[in-house]
Every structure is written in C-alpha cells, then in structure tokens.
C-alpha cells in the first residue's frame, strides 16, 4: 500500500487511524512519521536523538552556514540567546505600536479602492515582512526586494540541497539576497547603532563574536523564518473570518476572543505542517528500531488534530481550556522563538481589521489555493473580498 501520511489530509479517517493505532510508523517513502500529539511532543524534546535538518541525505553544510534549527547543542542554545535578544517578548514593546500603525495605513489605503480587493498582497503579506525588516534593520523601501528573495529561498532547493542551479551555499544559490545581508553586517561593523544586528555582532560566544559568515546565516534565517509562516497564519484567520459572517460578528462584538481565534487557526491550519529531523544514532524509540541517518518527520498538523488530545479536534472553538496546547510552533528547545512576535502581529492585524471593517465576504466562484511549497499550510495565497467599511463615527465593540 502506498498511503503516505505526508500527503494525506489530517482530517481523513486514515490519519485518525494512524494517530490512534500507529503513532510512530515507517512510511511507504522510507521515512518515519510521527502522527500523535504525544509522540510529536516527546520527540521535539529529545534533541539528542532527533537533529533538525531539511537537507537531503548526504548534503553536508559547513558549521558556520548551519541554520539555527540545524546547530547541535550546546551551541544551539547559545546562538538562540542572541536571536532571542531581537524577537523575545520583552523586546516587543516598541514593535506593537509600529505594527498597529502599519496595519492602519494599509487598511486606509485599501479603503480608497472600490469593488473586490485582494487582502493577500494588500494587507496579509506586507505586515510580517515589514515587521521583520524593521527588526533586522532593513529600510522599508526595500520591501519588494527582500519579500521576493525570502520566498525564492523557501521555494527553491537551497534549504534541502544547500545549492540551486545558480551555485553552492547561500552565496552561490541566492547571490543578490546574500549581498544585501552582507551589506547590513558590514555596515553595523563599521557604524554600530542601537539595533539588533549591532547587538548580534557585539555578543561573544565561547569567547569570540560571531563571524561574518555566521551572522549572515542567522540573519538570512530570520528574514525567511518569520515571513511565509506568519503570512499563512494571517491568511488562515482572514479567510475563516471572511467565510463565516457569524464568527466575524462574534469577534467584532468581543475583542477578548481574538487571541483564542489566533490559537485555533494555528491549531487547525498550522503554517508549518511538518518538521524534519534525522536520527543521530541507532536507537530504540517507543518500541521502534530507528537507524542512524533515518529521516523522521513530525506531523504537527496531525498532532494538532489528535482526537486523544483535543475534544472535537476539527471544530474551531474559541473556548478551549488550553488554547495554546497545539504544536504549531513545535516544542522543546527548538520551539519557535518568534511565537510571541507572530501572535502579537496576528492579534494586532485582526484587531485593526475589526476596528475598520463591519463585514466582508468572498465573491462567489473564487477558487482559493494555498502555498505551492507542500510543507507550508495555513490559509490561501490570495483572498479576494468585498468589504463593508465602518463609518468613522460608528462606535466599535
């Protein structure tokens, strides 16, 4: 039988069966797949056995060019400390007002237009892009450049092969993006200022600062990691709101439900559907013989719909007792360091929308499609809507 859990829908009876009877399975594609909440959570915590990597077998990446998700402990934790100094909760106080202003401006621009508008390029996509660029010290007018480049990285073969048709390593695979990031690094070495790239270059690790190559690698990863992910979360939320007028009205009447809405969309439509790992040794794990070098895929989407963990897992419920229990951000030492940032951005984008919009709907006959990158989930990549705007005088909920 060639049933492949990487392809099957998390809502299918086959996947429900897999979660309950066979949470650790060896698939027809010759890889391991973890389907249940319990197995996925435990495996994210076992960083000794399961090493993060999207690279295909045999692809060797030089140490300085390893993405944060690929660096083994204990160095991983030390590099993360530096990354956290850009995006952890206590650094976000000034980012929230910036993000809210941006959302307001984008919606005001949209309001000037008549008829059907596509929320995806006009609202969903610019927010995460601009917030990250702001954190990483890239000027806002360069938006079209890095937005395009960071998508090219995800859609290309650099994450899996460490090369593209154009050449080897990041420098060969994406030369323009690489030169752009190198220029940020060179500028902050020459003109330090009070921002994240400068702080990152200042910090010492094992008695020395990061090399230019290490700094480039981590900046590149940050540019890419928080972009398509956050965007697909936004589009899941906006899509569900546009498709369900009652849900829209409920949230508009009670803003305190917005965080729960964000968590349910993360759970039901996780922007990262699967995490990729490789076994670092021969091991017996939960009764299975896993061999050194075996590929092991963690089914985040499947875990989030585990009948054993979530009551009526396929329903969107704004009153779940543990709204953040889902695994959309992974778990364990590699748990997404951008989670607080992404949650804040999503909350602000929805709040601003609810302030300015009374209702919106998707015109009949629209075919909405998600990402062409198979492991990316979340919502569709275009979202045409007809909007009924709030009048300035109308009090909002």
Partner 1 sequence: MRVDVDFDSCESNALCAAVAPDVFELDDADQLHLVQDSPPERTWPEVEEAARACPKRAITLTAD
Question: Which residues contact ligand HEM by CB under 6 A?
Answer: 44, 52, 68-69, 80, 83, 87, 132, 221-222, 225-226, 229-230, 233, 271-272, 275, 328-330, 334-338, 341-342
294 or 301, CB closer to ligand HEM? Answer: 301
- Residue 259: which of 301, 313, 305, 320 has the closest Cα? 320
- State the DSSP code for 184: H
Residue 271 touches which member of ligand HEM, partner 1, none, C-beta under 5-8 Å by kind: ligand HEM
Q: Is 209 in the site for partner 1 (CB under 8 A)?
A: no
Q: Is 197 in the site for partner 1 (CB under 8 A)?
A: no
CB of 169 to ligand HEM, least distance (A): 19
Buried b (16+ CB within 10 A) or exposed e, 113-148: eeeebebbebbbbbbbbbbbbbbbbbeeeeeeebbe
Residue 376 touches which member of partner 1, ligand HEM, none, C-beta under 5-8 Å by kind: none
CB of 69 to partner 1, least distance (A): 13
CB of 16 to ligand HEM, least distance (A): 22
Q: Is 340 in the site for partner 1 (CB under 8 A)?
A: yes
Q: Is 59 in the site for partner 1 (CB under 8 A)?
A: no
Indicate the angle between helix axes 339-356 and 258-268, nearest 10 degrees: 120
* Residues 384, 117 contacting (CB under 8 angstroms): yes
- Residue 128: which of 348, 335, 329 has the closest Cα? 348
Q: Is 331 in the site for partner 1 (CB under 8 A)?
A: yes
* Residues 124, 235 contacting (CB under 8 angstroms): yes
- Residue 51: which of 295, 332, 277, 289 has the closest Cα? 277
Judged by CB under 8 A, the residue of 31, 38, 61, 84 near partner 1 is 84
DSSP string, 15-80: HHHHHHH-SEEE-TTS-EEE-SHHHHHHHHH-TTTEEE--PPTT----GGG--GGGPPTTHHHHHH
CB of 343 to partner 1, least distance (A): 9
H-only helix segments in 158-287: 158-161, 169-173, 175-190, 196-202, 212-225, 228-243, 245-253, 258-268
CB of 87 to ligand HEM, least distance (A): 5
CB of 87 to partner 1, least distance (A): 9
Q: Is 167 in the site for partner 1 (CB under 8 A)?
A: no
The dihedrals phi and psi of 332, each to the nearest 5 degrees, come to 70, -165
CB of 320 to partner 1, least distance (A): 15
Q: Is 198 in the site for partner 1 (CB under 8 A)?
A: no
- State the DSSP code for 124: I
Q: Is 335 in the site for partner 1 (CB under 8 A)?
A: yes
Q: Per CB under 8 A, which of residues 254..313 are in contact with partner 1?
A: none
Sheet architecture: strand order including 384-389: 117-118, 384-389, 357-361
Residue 379 touches which member of partner 1, ligand HEM, none, C-beta under 5-8 Å by kind: none
CB of 97 to ligand HEM, least distance (A): 17
* Residues 47, 334 contacting (CB under 8 angstroms): yes
Q: Is 77 in the site for partner 1 (CB under 8 A)?
A: yes
Strands 295-299 and 32-34, by their bridges, are parallel
Q: Is 89 in the site for partner 1 (CB under 8 A)?
A: yes
Residue 226 touches which member of ligand HEM, partner 1, none, C-beta under 5-8 Å by kind: ligand HEM
Residue 338 touches which member of ligand HEM, partner 1, none, C-beta under 5-8 Å by kind: ligand HEM
Residue nearest to ligand HEM (CB): 338
The contact set with partner 1 (CB under 8 A) reads 77-78, 80-81, 84-85, 88-91, 331-335, 337, 339-340
């Amino acid at each position: 039988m060639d049933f492949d859990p990487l392809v099957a829908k998390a809502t299918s009876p086959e996947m429900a069966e897999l979660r309950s009877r066979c949470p650790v399975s060896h698939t027809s594609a010759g890889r391991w797949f973890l389907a249940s909440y319990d197995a996925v959570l435990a495996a994210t915590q076992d960083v000794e056995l399961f090493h993060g990597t999207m690279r295909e077998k045999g692809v060797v990446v030089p140490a300085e060019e390893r993405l944060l998700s690929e660096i083994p402990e204990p160095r991983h934790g030390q590099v993360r400390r530096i990354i956290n100094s850009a995006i952890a909760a206590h650094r976000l106080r000034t980012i929230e007002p910036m993000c809210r202003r941006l959302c307001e401006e984008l919606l005001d621009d949209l309001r000037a237009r008549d008829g059907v508008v596509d929320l995806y390029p006009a609202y969903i996509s610019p927010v995460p892009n601009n917030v990250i660029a702001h954190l990483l010290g890239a000027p806002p007018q360069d938006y079209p450049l890095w937005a395009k480049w960071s998508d090219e990285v995800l859609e290309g073969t650099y994450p899996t092969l460490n090369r593209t048709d154009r050449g080897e390593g990041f420098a060969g695979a994406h030369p323009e993006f690489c030169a752009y990031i190198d220029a940020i690094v060179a500028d902050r070495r020459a003109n330090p200022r009070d921002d994240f790239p400068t702080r990152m270059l200042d910090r010492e690790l094992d008695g020395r600062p990061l090399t230019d190559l290490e700094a480039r690698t981590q900046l590149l990863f940050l540019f890419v990691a928080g972009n398509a992910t956050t965007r697909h979360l936004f589009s899941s939320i906006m899509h569900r709101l546009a498709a369900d007028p009652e849900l829209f009205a409920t949230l508009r009447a009670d803003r305190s439900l917005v965080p729960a809405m964000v968590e349910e969309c993360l759970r039901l439509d996780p922007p990262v559907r699967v995490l990729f790992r490789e076994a670092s040794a021969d091991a017996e794990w939960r009764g299975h013989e896993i061999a050194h070098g075996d590929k092991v895929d963690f089914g985040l989407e499947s875990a989030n719909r585990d009948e054993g963990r979530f009551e009526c897992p396929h329903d969107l419920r704004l009153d779940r007792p543990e709204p953040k229990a889902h695994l959309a951000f992974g778990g364990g030492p590699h748990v997404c360091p951008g989670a607080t940032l992404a949650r804040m951005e999503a909350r602000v984008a929805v709040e601003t929308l609810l302030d300015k919009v009374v209702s919106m709907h998707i015109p009949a006959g629209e075919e909405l499609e998600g990402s062409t990158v198979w492991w990316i989930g979340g919502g569709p990549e275009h979202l045409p809507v007809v909007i009924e705007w709030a009048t300035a005088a109308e009090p909002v909920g």
